[in-house]
Amino acid sequence: MTSSNILLVDNCSSDVENVKNAFSEIGIKSTLHLAQNDAEAWLMLQGENKISPIPKIILIDINEESVNGIKLLSKIRIHPALKSILVFVITRTDNEVNKAAALNLNIAGYMHKPFESTNTTDFFSILNDYWNIIEFSSEKK
């Protein structure tokens, strides 16, 4: 995947720092945009100052406090310009209800967050390899 936008929705500052460090260490060229909750993420996707171009990938922890990830996923999946975004749920907690709901909303994957920063780099290296072999639409939005 050439340089594009990725949106991270997570309100845990240490996890956000681990992701930023992993992106830097791996050399991921995409611009990482940060939202602390679903409302902030929605404004970044459809608000007055929305991210342009629309992110190709969203990483979201749907089980964090103050993040209504299922609501955000539902809105994304019914929006014509957003429904094809790849959404990965990356979470630290088990919640079978949220897991089933997210999978029913056609997420690209439901994964557990690595607990240590060294594992975060390996984790995102694997995801980056995947992102680089899949095909995205070249349509500009």
Per-residue pLDDT tens, the chain, 141 aa: give them: 566 899 999 999 999 999 999 999 999 989 999 999 999 999 999 988 899 999 999 999 887 777 788 999 999 999 999 999 999 999 888 889 989 999 999 999 999 888 776 788 889 999 999 988 887 766 554
Shortest CA distance to 90 belongs to which of 27, 6, 29? 6
Contact criterion met (CB below 8 Å) for 59 and 19: yes
Domains of the chain: 5-133 (3.40.50.2300)
Tokens of 25: 């260490």
Give the Cβ contact number of residue 29 at 10 Å: 11
3-state class of 18 per DSSP? helix
**pTM for this predicted structure:** 0.90
H-state helical runs in the chain: 13-26, 38-46, 69-78, 96-104, 117-133
